[in-house]
Amino acid sequence: MTINTSNSPLSTPPTEPKQSLKGLLPNELAEFFVSIGEPKYRAQQVFKRLYAQQTHSFDDMTELPASLRKHLSGVADIHPLAPSRLQESADGTKKFLFRLSDGREIETVLIPSESVEEDGVPKRLTLCVSTQVGCALNCKFCATASLKMKRNLTTGEIVEQFLQAQQHTDKPITNLVFMGMGEPMLNYDNVMKAVEILTHDDVQLLGARRITVSTAGMVEGMRRMADEKRPIKLALSLHATTDGLRTKLMPINKKHNLRELGDTLEYYYRKTGSPVTYEYILFEGLNDSEEDARRLQRITRRVPSKINVIPFHPIDFTNPDGVSASLRATTPEKFQAFIQRLRDLDVTVMIRSSSGKDIHAACGQLALSNVEMPLA
Ligand code: SF4
C-alpha cells in the first residue's frame, strides 16, 4: 500500500492531506510510523488504542511522547466519519446517519434482538453496516437502489461505523452484518480488511463467526471467500425461485442466474464446510405460493443452509416506479402459511423481524430518509 504521509522531520509543517490511520492493519501502521521516523512498535500501541481501547484523540494516547502526539494531530486523522443524526425506533432499533469526509452520507442500523435474557437485556445486538455510498445493483425492492452508486467506502469508514455505534450503547455489539447500503462483494478488499481489524487478536471486538457478509449474488466474491477460507458467514439474497422473477426483482440475475448461484454455493460449501443463509423477502402474489415453497426447498437443499424469511418493507418514500411501485407485502396469514409449508418440507426457517420499520431502518429501507433527531 501507499501510505499518504509526508516524510518530513517532526519539526516541518505538513504539506499533504492528513493520513487516515483508521482502517490500517498493524503492518500498514508500522509502515506509516517508519515513514515519519518513528519505531515500528508505535504501530502496535496505536492499533490497540484505536480499536481495543477506542481512544478518540491523540492527546489521550499518553504512552506516546508529547512531541509525537502533537505531530500526529497535524499529519494524521482518526475520524473518517462525522456523526450527523440518530433516530430511535419504538422497538429500540437505532439508525445512524454518518457524514463522510467528502460530504456524502451513509446509514448504519443497530438492532437489539427480540429475545431477551432473564434481566430483560437483549440476547443479541446486531449492527448492520454499509459498504458503499448508494448501490449499482438496482434491486427493485430496495430503497438504497434509488441513490445509485456513488463510491466504495474505505476500510476506515466501515470499521468506524462499528466503533461509533458502540459508543451509543452500553451493551457490547454481538453481531455484525454487511447488509446495509451497497453490495459488499463489490468492495471486497476493504470489507475483508475491516473484518481482519475487528477480529484481530489484539482487538477482539467480534468473533469471525459473528460476522455475516450478505450478497445479491456476486459469484466472484463468493468464490474468493471460499478460496481464501474466510471464517465469517455467507448469506445470499435469493428472493425468487425462478430466473424470470428473480431477474425482474434483481437485474444481477441476468449475469449470475439461479443455477450458477447454486453451483457457487456448492463450491463454497465444499471449500469451507460452512452452511449458508438464504434471505427471502415475501411479496404478495409473486413468490409466496405452495409451488414457490417447494422450489425453494429444492434450491436450498443443495448445501446445508437455513432460510431467513423477511416481510417486505415499503419503500414509498423513494417514489418508486415500474416493478418497484407494484410490490406489496404478503398478508400475515399467507406469510405464516408459507413458513409452515417450508417447515413441513423439513427446511430450517427463521423469521426476520421488521425492527426499525417506523424510522425506515428495516431491511431494504436504507436511503437517507429524514425522520430527524439530533445525535445525542
Ligand atoms: S439489496 Fe443490496 S445489492 Fe440490492 S440494491 Fe439494495 S443495497 Fe444494492
- Within 10 Å of residue 41's Cβ, how many Cβ atoms? 10
pLDDT > 90: what percent of the chain?
83
Cβ atoms of 107 and 87 within 8 Å: the answer is no
Q: Residue 259: helix, strand or coil by DSSP?
A: helix
CA distance linking residue 353 with residue 39, whole number of Å: 50
Nearest Cα neighbor of 78 from 131, 23, 31 is: 23
For residues 212 and 268, state if they share a domain. Answer: yes
Give the phi and the psi of residue 276 in degrees, each rounded to 5. -120, 160
Q: Which residue has the higher pLDDT, 376 or 104?
A: 104
Return the higher-pLDDT residue of 270 and 2. Answer: 270
Question: Residue 102: its pLDDT value, please?
Answer: 94
Compute φ and ψ for 92, nearest 5 degrees: 95, -10
| Catalytic residue (choose from 128, 135, 142, 363) | 363
CATH code of the domain containing 118: 3.20.20.70
Domain span including residue 29: 19-77
CA–centroid distance, residue 146 to ligand 1 (Å): 10
> What gap in Å lies between CA 68 and CA 84, rounded to an integer?
30
Segment 263-280, tens digit of pLDDT: 999 999 999 999 999 999
Total structural domains within the chain? 2
Ligand 1 near 235 CB (within 6 A): no
Residue of the nearest CA to atom 7 in ligand 1? 182
Judge if the beta carbon of residue 142 lies within 6 A of ligand 1. yes
Q: What is the pLDDT of residue 51?
A: 96
Domain for residue 161, yes or no? yes
Average pLDDT (116-120) is 70
Using CA atoms, how far residue 104 sits from 2, 17, 99, 152, 159, in Å, is 24, 18, 6, 11, 17
Q: Provide the pLDDT for residue 314.
A: 86
| 33 and 97 within one domain | no
pLDDT for 4 beyond 60: no
- Residue 364 Cα to ligand 1 midpoint, Å, equals 8
Q: What is the pLDDT of residues 189-244, one digit of tens each?
A: 999 999 999 999 999 999 999 999 999 999 999 999 999 999 999 999 999 999 99
Q: Tell me how far apart the alpha carbons of residues 85 and 374 are, in angstroms, rounded to a whole number.
A: 5
Choosing from 38, 88, 107, 157, the catalytic residue is 107
Rounded to an integer, the average pLDDT of 122-147 is: 94
Q: Are residues 237 and 274 in the same domain?
A: yes
- 35 alpha carbon – ligand 1 mean position (Å): 40
Is 181 in the same domain as 227? yes
**Domain boundary at 46, 77, 108, which?**
77
Q: Could you tell me how many helices (H) and strands (E) the chain has, helices first? A: 11, 14
Domain assignment present for residue 176? The answer is yes
- Quick one: 191 and 50 in the same domain? no
Residue 118 binned pLDDT confidence (cut-offs 50, 70, 90) = low
199 shares a domain with 338: yes
Residue 245 DSSP symbol: H
First-last CA distance in the chain? 37
Of 39, 57, 77, which residue sits at a domain end? 77
pTM summary value:
0.92
Q: Are residues 328 and 267 in the same domain?
A: yes
Same domain, 72 and 101: no
What's the 272 CA to ligand 1 centre distance in angstroms?
25
**Do 163 and 205 fall within a single domain?**
yes
Mutate to test the pocket of ligand 1, among 141, 144, 248, 255 (most ligand atoms within 8 A of CB): 144
246 falls within a domain: yes
Query: Is residue 86 located within the same domain as residue 32?
Result: no
Does residue 139 carry a catalytic annotation?
Answer: no
> pLDDT digits over 74-97, tens only?
999 999 999 899 999 999 999 999
Burial class (CB in 10 A: 0-12, 13-18, 19+), 338: buried
In a domain, 29, yes or no: yes
Q: Which pLDDT value is given to residue 8? A: 40
Is 154 among the domain residues?
A: yes
Whether residue 276 sits in one domain with residue 294: yes
CB 324 within 8 A of CB 313: no
Distance 140 CA to ligand 1 centre (A): 9
- R_g over Cα of the chain: 22
Classify residue 264: in a domain, yes or no. Answer: yes
Higher-pLDDT residue of 117, 200:
200
Mean pLDDT of the chain: 92
Residue 14 has pLDDT above 50, yes or no: no
Within a domain: 125: yes
Cell numbers of 145, please? 437502489
Q: Is the pLDDT of residue 352 over 60?
A: yes
Domain boundary among 32, 53, 77: 77
Asked whether 145 lines ligand 1 (CB < 6 A), one says yes
pLDDT value at position 199? 97
Q: Is the CB of 362 under 6 A from ligand 1?
A: no
Note the pLDDT tens digit of each residue in 28-47. Answer: 999 999 999 999 999 999 99
Question: CA separation (Å) from 341 to 3, 92, 293, 301?
Answer: 55, 32, 7, 15
Based on the fold, state whether residues 53 and 89 are members of the same structural domain. no
Answer whether residue 33 is part of any domain.
Answer: yes
Residue 60 sits in a domain of what CATH number? 1.10.150.530
